[in-house]
Amino acid sequence: MKLLAGKPGWTTQADVVVIGSGVAGLTTVLNLRASGLSVLLVTKALLDEGSTKWAQGGIAAALGPGDTPDQHESDTLIAGVGLCDIDAVKVLVTEGPEAVRKLIARGAVFDTSESGEISLTREGGHHRNRILHAGGDATGAEVSRALLEAIKGDSGIEVIERALAIDALQDADGQVCGVTLHVIGEGTRDGVGQALAKAVVVATGGLGQVYSQTTNPSVSTGDGVALALRAGAEVADVEFIQFHPTVLWRDTAEGGQQPLISEAVRGEGAILLNHKGERFMAKKHELADLAPRDIVAKEIFSQMRQWNIPHVWLDATGIKEFEVRFPTIYASCMANGIDPTKQLIPVAPASHYASGGVLVDLNGRTSVKGLYVCGESACTGAHGANRLASNSLLEGLVFGARIASDIASNLPDQVLPVEDQNEGFLLSPAIKLAIQLSMSEGAGVMRSEESLNETLTTLNQLASRTSTEPRIEAWEVSNLHLLATAIVRGALERKESRGSHWRSDFPETDPLWHKRVVQRYDATGNWSVRFAEVKP
């Protein structure tokens, strides 16, 4: 079932449409161009808006002396708690170093030591320093800058900003052959139009805005995952929402994007303390404060519940020249009245990353012909039940290149869309906060059958608040609602605790659940589920 939108008033065409201008979309575009294909790049807001430019800690790759892809693989598998697809992880860690070198060749500048070597730091779950960073804690901004610079001036790339992709166009057999999009533009490119293409790549990033507090920017409403679901693609692992342990806690009810305090701050020596000034991670994991992210988030949550406190503390006062190493974090702390060089930083978990997404193969292909998905929107299986820190930018680099190569060698002929006879549906933008609050309450760090069912009931009730006015906020909220439903349904299915899926009523990890929850949504609005075995 598609979203309600006006009839396309204009048409454009390219070999490939890429939706989204983060690390995944831009890497795909650059590699498609290297094969000579024409590309239409559409992006919902301005080119650099998206999670990529906010990335702090860095990019993980086995580039340091003594490090190997095997060691990176091992840390990735441990963090993923048995649910990683081993082939996807191997691709990520073995092709990662070359992908990073290519990014450097494309102009990205990483921080170096006095001797000129690339500086490597550490984050949760890594057993050695292997994270490249830029501008101290502004890695994403540098990646975004370099990739945007690299696409400039290429007449084979048409860019449309403020262009929200609404739904896939499909032929009679379901093959994707373009997208409908809404453009806030001028002249002939204003309002709803259609872009025809031989292949479509969704690279629309995450869905953090499903929750009331998130590290994700406002554009992260999961539009591409929802578009793919409506086109008939499967999603997997969506119950594994990663909550970042150390998000700046502010004494405010203000929702939306919250300032992140990078794990790299703990990598450089900061420690977590409870309200009594006691360290609590050392007795929980051999890596203590640098345990994998799900373990730290759970322990912070437990401390908050046990002592009835709204946050814990991060002590970064021992880090030398904090303001030089972490200028972005220093500025955001200071803007919130905290001097991290002298004061403890109040932190609490918030939604950060979708470890699952649209189920794809090693070349980014979905179950729907012509539709590829890349980056945070995809479920390659590389992250399993919990993504290892700084593996996301890497995934965009590695799989963006693979997708482009697959498209270039298998480009289908252009087929023509059939008109969808259904009227389409749309929800009222007024329900956004209710979705977010209900998800944070019932499907947050800790869930149970009871809390999830309450949220599902709320979502079902909210589904009756329809709208007949197609506009950006209504399309976004309809997407949020669809994804919230998928997350809750997946979380209800998985009757165990594993990685970032923590069920208070099923607290143990159960070997019987060594499988993926794969969901589909059909043209009549019904959900189906299947379970996919994961290679041991």
Considering only residues 389 to 448 of the shown chain, the ones binding ligand FAD according to CB under 6 A are: 390-393, 396
User: Binding string to ligand SIN for residues 25 to 44, with x set by CB under 6 A, is what?
Assistant: --------------------
In whole angstroms, what separates CA 161 from the centre of its chain?
20
Between CA 121 and CA 57 the distance in angstroms is 8
| Residue closer to ligand FAD, measured from CB, 20 or 444 | 20
State how far the Cα of 242 lies from the Cα of 244, in Å rounded to an integer. 6
Positions 455 through 494 that interact with ligand SIN (CB under 6 A):
none
50 binds, among ligand SIN, ligand FAD, none (CB under 5 to 8 A by kind): ligand FAD
Question: In a 3-state reduction of DSSP, which class is residue 114?
Answer: coil
Q: How many residues bind ligand SIN (CB under 6 A)?
A: 10
Q: Toward ligand FAD, which CB reaches closer, 9 or 507?
A: 9
Number of residues that bind ligand FAD (CB under 6 A): 46
Q: Hey, which residues between 198 and 217 contact ligand SIN (CB under 6 A)? A: none
483 binds ligand FAD (CB under 6 A): no
Q: In terms of C-beta density within 10 A (0-12 exposed, 13-18 middle, 19 or more buried), how is residue 106 classed?
A: middle
Among 28, 180, 380, 390, binds ligand SIN (CB under 6 A): 390
CB 346 within 8 A of CB 274: no
Count of positions (residues) in the chain: 536
Give Cα separations from 337 to 242, 248, 316 (angstroms).
28, 11, 15
* Edge-to-edge strand ranges of the sheet holding 191-196: 11-13, 191-196, 176-183, 163-170
Q: Quote the CA–CA distance of 305 and 297 in Å, as a whole number.
A: 12
Q: 2, 15, 18, 20: which one contacts ligand FAD (CB under 6 A)?
A: 20
Stretch that binds ligand SIN, among 9-17, 25-33, 90-98, 388-396 (CB under 6 A): 388-396
Closest CA to 347 of 361, 367, 364, 332: 332
Cα gap 525→518, rounded to integer Å? 16
Q: Would you count residue 213 as binding ligand FAD (CB under 6 A)?
A: no
CB of 131 to ligand FAD, least distance (A): 8
Buried b (16+ CB within 10 A) or exposed e, 11-39: ebebbbbbbbbbbbbbbbbbbbbeeebbb
- Contact of residue 519 among ligand SIN, ligand FAD, none (CB under 5-8 Å per partner type): none
Candidates 293, 325, 489, 498; catalytic one: 293
Binding positions for ligand SIN, 47-76, rule CB under 6 A? 56-57
Q: Which is nearer to ligand SIN, 262 or 458 (CB)?
A: 262
The residues, any chain, with a CB within 8 Å of residue 233's CB and separated by 6 or more, are 358, 359, 366, 367, 368, 371, 373, 520
Closest distance between ligand SIN and the C-beta of residue 406, in Å? 26
Here the tokens at position 73 are: 């693989």
Residue 216 partner contact from ligand SIN, ligand FAD, none using kind-dependent CB cut-offs of 5 to 8 Å: ligand FAD
Residues 469, 94: Cα–Cα separation, whole Å: 48
Residue 411 binding target from ligand FAD, ligand SIN, none, CB below 5 to 8 Å by type? none
Q: 354 - beta bridge partners? A: 241
Q: Within 150-179, which residues bind ligand FAD (CB under 6 A)?
A: 163-165
293 flagged as catalytic: yes
Q: Of the two residues 350 and 517, which places its CB atom closer to ligand SIN in the complex?
A: 350
Binding mask 256-285 for ligand FAD (x = CB under 6 A): ----x-------------------------
Question: In sequence order, which residues have a C-beta less than 8 Å from that of residue 444 and are 6 or more positions away?
Answer: 211, 243, 351
Q: Binding marks (x or -) toward ligand FAD, 345..384, rule CB under 6 A?
A: --------x---------------------xxx-------
Single-letter amino acid code for the residue at 458: T
Rule CB under 6 A: choose which of 100, 264, 319, 350 binds ligand SIN: 264
Tokens of 457: 């009931």
Q: Which 304-363 positions form the footprint of ligand SIN (CB under 6 A)?
A: 353
Instruction: Report d(CA 28, CA 274) in Å as an integer.
Output: 44
Using CB under 6 A as the criterion, which residues of the chain lie in contact with ligand FAD when the complex forms?
A: 19-25, 42-45, 49-52, 54-59, 139-140, 163-165, 203-206, 215-216, 219-220, 223-224, 260, 353, 375-377, 390-393, 396
Using CB under 6 A as the criterion, which residues of the chain lie in contact with ligand SIN when the complex forms?
A: 56-57, 123, 262-264, 353, 389-390, 392
By annotation, the residues acting in catalysis are 293
